Structure 1
Amino acid sequence: MFAGIDEVDWASMEHAYGPADDVPALLTGLASADPVQRERALDGMYGAVHHQGDVYACTLACIPFLFELVADPSVAERGSIVELLTSIGGIELDEDDEEELDEDEIEGAANYAMAAAAVCAGAEVFVGLLADADRGVRLTAPLALATLHAEPPRVLALLRKRLPVEPDEEVRLALVEAAGRLALRHETVADTAAHWLSRLAMQEYAPGLRLAALAQLARCAPAALPVDIVPRVADLLRALRATHPPSGTATRAAAEAASREAAQSPTLIGQLRAMQAAEEAGRSTPWAADLLRTLHGALGDRVEDRVALLADQLCSPDDGQRLDAVRMSGGLIRVWRGPYDEVVRLVGEQLAEPDPRLRDAAAHLLAEIRLLAAPAVDTLAARVAVTSETWVRQWEDGRTSLDPALRALANIGDPRALPVLRSVLERPGVPWDLGHAVAALGPAASPLAGALRHRLAEVPLEPSANGGAAPLMDALASLRADEAMPEVLRVLRGVPEASAPYLRSSALRTLGAFGPGARGAVGELEALMHRSRTRGAIEAADALYSVSGDVDAVLPVLIEALTAEEPLGIRAAAGVVGRLGTRAAAAGPRLRALLHHDDLWVRVDAALALCEVSGRFTETWPVLLAAWTENAHVRVRVADTLARTGAAAAGSGAAHALRAELSSVRRHNARDAGFGTTDIAADESLLTLCRQALRDGDDRG
């Protein structure tokens, strides 16, 4: 094995972490009889040679040797090597990607193309692996064929031939998934594959196979889905529970053991495997979750169908199915707008379940969706009432945070969170999200002002004060508790240099929120404004204006900041100038010049400020409309200005953009990968602002 490996000049190549002279040892390790050695070698291949999907010259040089390993039945865990080859050869660049490549990326693109050609050239090996004695190999070979083989009709025929004789249920599902992949990638077999999948979804097949067929059909031929897709899937889930009953209480013990293994594993691959084992522990059909995720993703904007399906899943007697449903509910709500009251109520019911994973997932989702969690308010209050020992959570980095159920209750503005927050303030440590919770409660949290002030007075002014003082000041700012001005000034004056920028900003925001009640700080704010650099001067000017209302004192500093080179400084200054309104007319020429700035956000902030300063919206709308179209994340800011000024009635065309936003079922900030914990709240705020702007615009028009 590995004939010619020593003839490759590995030292002349590089991978993600330097010279590739260690690659021969990694390849040898993949063939080791020692499972620890194999795991470390595979970890090295993904961590360095194929780092985050990259293809280097050494990756290309590995391909022939990886094929040798796959073809040798004496090598253990060859399925993981099949997966590695599929990943190396399966990256495709479409025409749009190729057009956007810069010079530094051209070499990488060429490597991807060469890797695809090299792996595809050897893909015939995977044909023989469909019937391999190793289950892991049979599990990975179908997708490798569908991704890499040059003859799609032949591959589909092989998959269909293998299905009736394949003894393993999960491998049968892999064969069905591969058929769906073929249909998506190759029009020549799309109709044939869809017809086969439709037949597999019929009554005479096992429920898992039928569910897999429906999931793939939803991906590649959604028009062929049965009209009764929701009750049909619900029936299949019930059939799965009948034929594969969950193992009950063993789940948690097995999950905890696997989690401990993940923490102890020296390799990322080992940690991922242990985490997967923890997730699947005690589940009789762990693959069902992937099938349902595929189905939900393929149903896309069919929100009503997906809500009905989730409602059924959330009523399942199987803890695992309900846990999956909670997570999938988050995936749905983050991307699509819709009526979620029933789903949210059912998610709330999971807070009373004994499985901590289920309770935690439900609480985190309810905290994330904020006001949308209102249908679960009573179950949240009940949960908070019985979790006094876990109202605050300690993290590995030393920070603390509020229990997600408590945070969710506060986000709704329910006063039942108030006594619990009062108790939290009596304990050591200040949760980083305390300020957010107090702000969400609004005036109902006013009784906490004294305790917040007392805690702030006790915070030691040292670098570690960063985490304690800021949440307390944020909370006091939201309450406009100007009686706490002495405590805030203590922080402003005594803030350590290591914590200065962050804590000083927090203190200035708090004094600004106090407004005229902080007049005693005017002299200090003026001095700070004149001696600080650009960002600090802008923050001090913002606070000074809020406290004194003296436009003449702050406008020269702000206009000077508008000429700075740093985009963030310009944006901050424009934001404050906009608050000054028409009394800042002297800043108009500079704001107009910024409408042509290279930075989109500078253009947007300048346009919004100019609208406030000039009292006219029509001259800025072309800039804002272009930004509205180019970057959806500007929309909340723009809609806020439209709602406050009534500018939608100014004949600018803004009303059309607002109505188009309200007609969209997809959230404006939905991402294909990843999400932010404030995304849902931001989108719900946008919808509210759009409605308000249109309503006020109609009234003024």
Structure 2
Amino acid sequence: MFTGINEVDWAALRHAYGSAEDVPGMLRGLASADRAERDTALDGMYGAVHHQGDVYDSTLACVPFLFALVGREEVPDRAGIVELLVSIGGGDDGAETLSGAYAMARTAVRAGAQVFVRLAGDPDAGVRRAAAGAVVRFLDEPATVLGLLRERLMVERDDAVLLALTEGLGLFVRRHPGRAAAALDLLTAQSAPPYGPGLRIAALGQLAGCAPDRLPDDLVGTVVRLLRDRSERRPTRPCDRDRPETDTLVGRLRRLRPSDEEGSQLLRTLHTALDDRVDDRIGLLCGQLTSPDPVDRCNAVWMSTGLFREWRADHTEPVALIGAQLGEDEDRLRDAAVTVLADLFELAAPAADPLDTLVTSRPDLWVRQWTRGTPTLGGPLKALARTGDPRAVPVLAEVLAGPVVPGDLGQVIRHLGRAAAPLAPAFRHRLARIPLDSPDVHERALTVLPALEALHDRECVPGVLRLLLGIPEEARLRDAVVANAVRTLGAIGSSAHEAVPALRGLLECDSAIAAADALWSVEGDAEAVLPVLLRELTGGTPHRRRAAADVLARLGPAARPALPGLRPLTESGTVWERTSAACAVWRITGAPDTVLAVLRSAWAENPHTRATIAGCIAAMGPKGTPLHDLPRAELASARRHRTSSGGFGSHDVFADEQLLRVCREALGGG
């Protein structure tokens, strides 16, 4: 297995953390008889040699030895090594576009592809399952590949391997469209009786992605019936529980797998393939969420996040069904439902009643304690408050009266609007009790100030000034505390007039822009703030120039002296700087013609700019008409605006709903 390993100058090769001299030990560890040693070695391969999918010269040097390992039946856990080889070779469908070291890695894995052909009939079912997709990805002999898949489908008896072979057929169709007919015929046959429900769902998922015209008319009803049939037949999850756990990344990932990983993958594949068939996906989710099997329902809850985060639709029914899971005794299902609902904000309103029931009945879930760091609001209470439901207010008052205030309480308050007003006295009391010389002054302040800012509480001004003027220079995160205090005063506006001297005193420090913004809100004196903003506009960093432009936009025509500094920024290489400058020019001059092209290009280039641009269009009233096509097109789009920017964040749905609200305002819809 390791012939020639000592002839490689590993010390001269590199991986993610430097010299690759430790790689021979990892390779030998993969063949160890000790489970923990094998898991540790695989950790090392993914963590260093193939770190986050990267390919190094040491990665390439490992490929022959990895092939040697998978070819020896006495080596345990070879399936994991086959999966590693697939990943190194660029297993994704788009891997043909790889270049450089990645292309070399793919070539190296392709050179050994005949090994995968042999492994497709290996005695180990896990190896056969991993090899099924590897053959399709790396063997450039379509006729041989299709023949092998057909042969294995006829003789295979392991359900998991059959599913992998079915996935392989779908991949074959996408990779070899000119030879797809026979593979599609096989998939179509597998999607109907007498095949079992799991295999039929798998085949339907592949057909949805590559030949939707072959799907049954009643796709949703068919899949829901198959899912329930499968659940009735599904045995208890075997045995990884009988294997010793290891404190490794591999071990932790194994423990985090869904209790029905196979079912989760089947339905996720189908949902992904259905893509913009949103009505079908909602119907499918509702079918999953009403399954008698709690495992199916739990899979559906997690699966719903992709639909909610990517597509705008009427999600009332699936959200209500997710809310219905909150009354279940199974912690895993309830916790999944809470997590999903908390990220939906107002869209979780159909689940508000069961959320309130859970909050009322479980005070132990009001606050979440962490091993390290500040406690935070518990998921059920946070989710209820984020819907804007006033029933959260009395509970938050009890939390606020406790010994420790959750660190995120101030951020959550803003979603309750005026309903949270009764909490203001308690927040003021907390603010007054913050000892300015305490080492945790920043933690306490950054919890209370955002709440008072959201509440626009006029009576908190003395307390905010006490903190602003008294916090020690050496205090940790002092700048953040000052910035929050200044924003709070600005949110209060003219009622914070006694803060004017303090705000003027900050016009020459790092918080100058925030102070100028607040000062404008409090007293509306352009002469006091323009010199500061002009200075930052021409001499600050890109971030500060953008911030200054945003404040100048608020000044409107009073900021006309800033136009010579703003106009060059509309040609900046930074899209956010261009956007802020263009919005400022428009709101100062009232003439959109000079910045229309800038705003149009920014809207298309970076979807994150759209809320800012739509806000500018709304603020300009009838003068915004030349750009009304932008919010109109946004409102007509079914896809959420951040989907194309890659990745997902916990506030994506909230941000998208805010954008839609501003777009409606821009078009006069309120």
**Do Structure 1 and Structure 2 share a fold, with TM-score over 0.5?**
yes
Query: Aligned match of 2:332 in 331, 336, 357?
Result: 357
Q: Does the residue aligned with 1:87 lie in a helix, a strand or coil? A: helix
Equivalent-residue separation in structure 1 for 2:209 and 2:43 (angstroms):
32
- Asked whether the 8 Å contact 1:43–1:267 carries over to 2, the reply is yes
Deviates further, 481-490 or 670-679: 670-679
Conserved? CA contact 1:648–1:655, under 8 Å: no
Report the equivalent of 1:637: 612
Q: CA deviation at 1:164?
A: 2.4
Superposed CA deviations along residues 249-303 of structure 1, whole A, max 9, x for unmatched, are xx9xx99x89x987xx432122212222xx32xx4xx301101001001100111
Equivalent residues of 1:92, 1:112 under 8 A apart: no
Indicate how the Cα distance of structure 1 residues 438 and 94 shifts in structure 2: closer, same or farther if over 3 A, else same: closer
Given that 1:518 and 1:547 are in contact with CA atoms closer than 8 Å, whether structure 2 keeps it comes out as yes
Displacement of 1:176 in angstroms is 0.7
1:173 shift after superposition: 0.7
Distance (whole Å) between structure 2 residues aligned to residue 73 and residue 25 of structure 1 = 20
What secondary structure sits across from 2:462 in the alignment? Answer: helix
Distance (whole Å) between structure 1 residues aligned to residue 47 and residue 236 of structure 2 = 36
Q: Which residue is 2:247 aligned to? A: 266
Name the structure 2 match of 1:105: none
Q: After superposition, what is the alpha-carbon deviation per residue over 1:96-126, rounded to whole angstroms, capped at 9, x for unaligned?
A: 967xxxxxxxxxx322112111111111111
Pairing 1:133–2:146 present: no
Distance in 2 (CA, whole Å) between partners of 1:92 and 1:524 is 58
In the alignment, what sits opposite 2:498? 520
Query: Which of residues 215, 219, 234 is equivalent to 1:225?
Result: 215
- Give the fraction of aligned pairs with identical amino acids, expressed as a percent: 49
1:406-465 deviation digits (Å, cap 9, x = unpaired):
122222222111110100101122222212322111111111111111111222333422
The one of 470, 473, 480 equivalent to 1:494 is 470
Q: 2:440 aligns with which of 464, 483, 487?
A: 464
Distance, in Å, in 2 between the alignment partners of 1:510 and 1:67 is: 62
Q: Quote how far apart the aligned CAs of 1:672 are.
A: 7.2
Cα distance in 2, alignment partners of residues 97 and 632 from structure 1: 26
State the alpha-carbon separation in 2 of the partners of residues 604 and 672 from structure 1.
Answer: 18
1:17 is matched with: 17
Shift of 1:555: 0.9
Q: Tell me, what secondary structure is at the counterpart of 1:415?
A: coil
Alignment of 1:401-412 (within 5 A): 401-412=376-387
Number of matched residues?
667
1:405 CA displacement: 1.8
Structure 1 Cα separation of the partners of residues 606 and 109 of structure 2: 39
User: Hey, what does 2:110 align to over in structure 1?
Assistant: 120
For 1:194-233, list aligned pairs within 5 A.
194-233=184-223
**Which residue in 2 is equivalent to 1:686?**
659
The letter for the 1-side match of 2:458 is D
Q: Which residue of 1 aligns with 2:345?
A: 370
The answer as to whether partners of 2:590 and 2:623 remain within 8 angstroms in 1 is no
CA distance in 2, matches of 1:92, 1:327: 23
Alpha-carbon offset, residue 245 of structure 1: 6.1
Shift of 1:639: 0.7
Contact 2:592/2:624 (CA < 8 Å) preserved in 1? no
Q: What residue is the counterpart of 1:388 in the other structure?
A: 363
Q: How does 1:495-510 map to 2 (within 5 A)?
A: 495-496=471-472, 497=474, 498-510=476-488
Could you tell me the TM-score, scaled by structure 1's length?
0.91
Alignment of 1:609-648 (within 5 A): 609-647=584-622
Deviation, 1:92, is 7.0
Q: Deviations over 1:173-222 (max 9, x none)?
A: 11111111111222233232222101100121111110111111112222
TM-score by length of 2: 0.96
Q: Secondary structure at the match of 1:63?
A: helix
Kindly provide the amino acid, as one letter, of the partner of residue 485 in structure 1: V
Q: Does 1:669 align with 2:642?
A: yes
Equivalent residue for 1:76?
76
- List per-residue Cα deviations over 1:351-401 (Å, max 9, x = no partner): 111111211221222221111112112112111111212201112332221
2:3 maps to what in 1?
A: 3
Report how far residue 544 of structure 1 moved: 1.3
Q: 1:525 to 1:419 in 2, by over 3 A?
A: same
CA contact (8 A) 1:261 1:271 kept: no
Specify whether residues 502 and 612 from structure 1 end up closer, same or farther in structure 2 by C-alpha distance, changes over 3 A only.
Answer: same
Q: Structure 1 residues 693, 383: CA separation in 2 closer, same or farther (over 3 Å shift)? A: same
Matches of residues 275-290 of structure 1 in structure 2 within 5 Å? 275-276=256-257, 279-280=258-259, 283=260, 286-290=261-265
Q: 1:142 to 1:188 in 2, by over 3 A?
A: same
SS of the residue aligned with 1:435?
A: helix
Secondary structure at the counterpart of residue 37 of structure 2: helix
Please give the root-mean-square deviation of Cα atoms over the aligned residues, in Å: 2.2
Specify the code of the residue in structure 2 equivalent to 1:179: L
| 1:476 matched to 2:457 | no
Query: Quick one: distance in 2 between partners of 1:55 and 1:95?
Result: 13
Which whole-Å CA distance do the structure 1 matches of 2:59 and 2:127 have between them? 22
Q: Is it true that 1:575 corresponds to 2:553 in the alignment?
A: no
- In the alignment, residue 218 of structure 2 is paired with which amino acid? D
In the TM superposition, residue 648 of structure 1 has moved relative to its aligned partner by 6.0
Q: Which moved more, 1:305-314 or 1:564-573?
A: 564-573
- Give how far 1:338 is off: 0.7
Measured against aligned partners, the alpha-carbon deviations of 1:289-333 in whole angstroms (never above 9, x if no partner) come to 101001001100111000011111111111111111111111101
1:655 to 628, 645, 654: 628
Single out whichever of 520-529 and 238-247 deviates more from structure 2.
238-247
AA at the equivalent of 1:422: A
Give the letter for the 2:29 counterpart. Answer: G
Cα distance, 1:673 vs. partner? 5.0
Q: Against the structure 1 CA distance between its residues 492 and 649, is the aligned structure 2 distance closer, same or farther, given a 3 Å change threshold?
A: closer
